[in-house]
Amino acid sequence: MSDQEKDNLEEKLHTDGVGESAVADGADSDESAGETSVLPPAEVRAVLEALIFASEQPITPREIGQVLGGVPKDAWQAALAELQEEYARDGRGLQLVEVASGWQITTRPEYNDWVRELLDPQRPTRLSIQALETLAVIAYKQPVTQPEVIELRGVKSGGVLKTLLEKRLIRITGRKEVVGRPMLYGTTREFLLHFGLKDLTELPKIEEFAEVLGEEVDVEGLKRAIEAPRPVEIPLSEEDGEQLTLDTNAGDAATDDGIDPGDEADEG
């Protein structure tokens, strides 16, 4: 959508009373089911389509409610359902999908190769097989540590994890309270967008997911890895936890005094 079209849309909404006051009341739109819409049904559908198309990320119900503050929730939900049915018809190159807790208009998967050829024919878009298999293990076993991934897949994964982090398909979710306190990894919202999932509950069976990843993926190996129990790890003892707290507090105190603990070690 061009800047001019966005300005026209905004001006239309303000003209019909959907201005700043309506946005401020957007949170209350859930309770306005009995109110009269400031826009006719056909125009609600058109405005919704424009909003979804113009949004860089999947637009959430909350965002829709804020923008369409003068339109009852049941009205724009009905318009959204009609839009979805319209985009689901055969012969269309676009689809309206619910993904990552929002709504987005995307190209249909069967036409991705054509679109990719237009946008960047020289750029490799696929991850390596090792990266895809590691990503699958993390998706199904999360939160999971690097040692667990190595144990389950039988291959080193340090470089692969770095690649997945750089592509924002995984993130560090914390540390596991075992000896060594290794970092825990889980998938991201970008992962949901990449694979067209509404949330993690939509993860299919590993056999089906492997088909999405590609024919070269070791389906049986992945299935064994995901169904296998987690490797046994030694939990932190009370003494380990107390020592960790002491070390942390000592480091904080040294930092507060302007002393780098590493400098003391060098001087020793």
**76 and 64 Cβ atoms separated by less than 8 Å:** yes
Least confident of 168-177, 215-224, 242-251: 242-251
Determine the Cα angle at 32 with ends 31 and 35, to 5°: 155
| pLDDT at residue 207, rounded to an integer | 77
Q: Which CATH number fits domain 3-111: 1.10.238.10, 3.40.50.2000, 1.10.10.10, 1.20.58.760?
A: 1.10.10.10
What is the model's pLDDT at position 173?
94
What is the C-alpha end-to-end distance of the chain, expressed in Å?
A: 64
CA torsion through residues 122, 123, 126, 127, sign: positive
Nearest 5°: phi and psi at 96?
A: -105, 115
pLDDT score of 172 more than 90? yes
Q: Which two tokens stand for residue 184?
A: 């825990």
d(CA 40, CA 59): 22
**What pLDDT is stored for residue 43 in this prediction?**
93
Q: What is the DSSP string of the chain?
A: --HHHHHHHHHHHHHTT-SHHHHHTGGGGGG-TTSPPSS-HHHHHHHHHHHHHH-SSPBPHHHHHHHTTTS-HHHHHHHHHHHHHHHTSTT-SEEEEEETTEEEEEE-GGGHHHHHHHH-TTS--PPPHHHHHHHHHHHHH-SEEHHHHHHHHSS--HHHHHHHHHTTSEEEEEE-SBTT-PEEEEE-HHHHHHHT-SSGGG---HHHHHHHH-TTS-HHHHHHHHHSPPPP-PBPPHHHHHHHHHHHHHHHHHHHTT--HHHHHHH-
Quote the pLDDT of residue 245.
Answer: 46
**CATH hierarchy code of domain 129-227:** 1.10.10.10
Q: What mean pLDDT is reported for the chain? A: 76
Q: Is the pLDDT of residue 100 over 60?
A: yes
Residues of the chain with CATH 1.10.10.10: 3-111, 129-227
Range scoring the smallest mean pLDDT among 44-58, 141-155, 195-209, 212-226: 212-226
The pTM of the full predicted model, rounded to 2 decimals, is: 0.50
Q: Name the maximum alpha-carbon separation found in the chain.
A: 78
